[in-house]
Amino acid sequence: FQGYLDHEQFNQLEELQDDANPNFVEEVVTLYYRDSARLVHSIEQALEKSPIDFNKLDSYMHQFRGSSSSIGAKKVKAECSLFREYCRAGNGEGCMRTFQQVKKEYTALRKKLETFFQLARQAGPVDRARRPK
Amino acid sequence: MNLVLRFQTRPLSIGRSSAFITSSEQQPTTPQQFKGLKIVLADDDNVNRTVTKKLLEKLGCEVTAVASGFECLSTLSSENSVRVVILDLQMPEMDGFEVASRIRKFRSRNWPFIIALTASAEDNIWERCLQLGMNGVIRKPVLLQGMAEELRRVLQVAG
């Protein structure tokens, strides 16, 4: 997870997990991917329109950035910030390019998290402390 | 013939394992220190709302979580023992500023307490919030420690 996750933030999620909610982290991450899939789709559609509605794009990206930062998705969040700068500058090309990066980071993180949860399920709660890097 | 079975035991990392979290380890805050504190949380983002709600519950609060300014106002009108409202400032339709103005119009300055949640780094956010009668501001993403400190600070004002 080197560089992909903000460990303080992700730790926070792990600390919220307890006997009453033993799968809290996985639930939140699943919720994130579900909600953000919708946003990704909306952003893609908005980027295809002509002329581009930068305000709308910025608003979608604000949401995306917000929930990404809640789960500690550091790289995704950084690309989102960059995207918003292009939005504010009204730079459609820049937006499209950056969005490819956003999707790349987002997908890469998803794969890492899926592996993490698979391992966690196999190992049981005691080994959760050892996170694959 | 002797059969020797060797078991490899892995060390228990009790301190880090979520199932055995002790409040002394990473959180200087005592769990349950805000026991029974009634809170309304308004945040339109599902992920943020879920995480913040759990965080508050970890602190012992009783949380009603809503997804819009409208729902927030209607919850408050039907439940008058709500002590604190935690509001995301950037919500579509009705933002946190609007919600706070409306709350303050009909109620006293300190009931309920209003704490804003914002991802914004602007300097004048605190001022704007104060002017509207809000009592606190928390920067997103929210951490347990930050939330506990701000809650403590806001509640202490009343004595």
Domain limits, chain B: 29-141
B141 at A interface, C-beta within 8 A: yes
- Mean pLDDT in each 10-residue stretch from start to end of chain A (133 residues)? 84 92 94 95 95 93 92 94 94 95 95 90 62 52
What pLDDT is stored for residue A113 in this prediction? 93
What pLDDT is stored for residue B15 in this prediction? 33
Rounded CA-CA distance A72/B105 in Å is 37
What pLDDT is stored for residue B135 in this prediction? 94
Q: Closest partner residue to B26 among A15, A21, A126, by Cβ?
A: A15
B16 at A interface, C-beta within 8 A: yes
Domain B29-141 adopts which CATH fold?
Rossmann fold (3.40.50)
Query: Percent of chain B scored above 90 by pLDDT?
Result: 61
What pLDDT is stored for residue B158 in this prediction? 55
Q: Write the pLDDT tens digit of every residue in B40-70.
A: 999 999 999 999 999 999 999 999 999 999 9
Confidence of residue B12 (pLDDT cuts 50, 70, 90): very low
B55 at A interface, C-beta within 8 A: yes
Per-residue exposure over A12-47, b if at least 16 CB sit within 10 Å of its own CB, e if not: bbbbbbeeeeeebbbebbebbbebbeebbebbeebe
What pLDDT is stored for residue B108 in this prediction? 72
Smallest CA–CA distance, residue B2 to chain A, in Å, is: 31
Contact A70 B47 (CB under 8 A): yes
What pLDDT is stored for residue A127 in this prediction? 47
What pLDDT is stored for residue B7 in this prediction? 54
Residues of A in contact with B26 (CB under 8 A): 11, 15
Find the closest chain B residue to A56 by CA distance.
B92
Q: Closest partner residue to A31 among B10, B50, B144, by Cβ?
A: B50
Q: Closest partner residue to B141 among A9, A18, A130, by Cβ?
A: A9
Find the closest chain B residue to A35 by CA distance.
B46
Contact A28 B50 (CB under 8 A): yes
Find the closest chain B residue to A72 by CA distance.
B141
* CA-angle at A126, arms to A124 and A132, nearest 5°: 80
| Residue B17 reports pLDDT greater than 70 | no
Find the closest chain A residue to B14 by CA distance.
A126
B119 at A interface, C-beta within 8 A: yes
Contact B27 A24 (CB under 8 A): no
Find the closest chain A residue to B59 by CA distance.
A16
In DSSP notation, A14-59 reads HHH--SSSTTHHHHHHHHHHHHHHHHHHHHHHHHHSSS--HHHHHH
Smallest CA–CA distance, residue A109 to chain B, in Å, is: 16
Residue type, B93: E
| Residue B14 reports pLDDT greater than 70 | no
Query: Percent of chain A scored above 90 by pLDDT?
Result: 76
**Which of B13, B20, B47 would you mutate first to test chain A, the one with the most A CBs within 10 A?**
B47
What pLDDT is stored for residue A4 in this prediction? 86
What pLDDT is stored for residue B30 in this prediction? 60
What pLDDT is stored for residue B10 in this prediction? 44
Average pLDDT over every residue of B122-129: 88
What pLDDT is stored for residue A124 in this prediction? 66
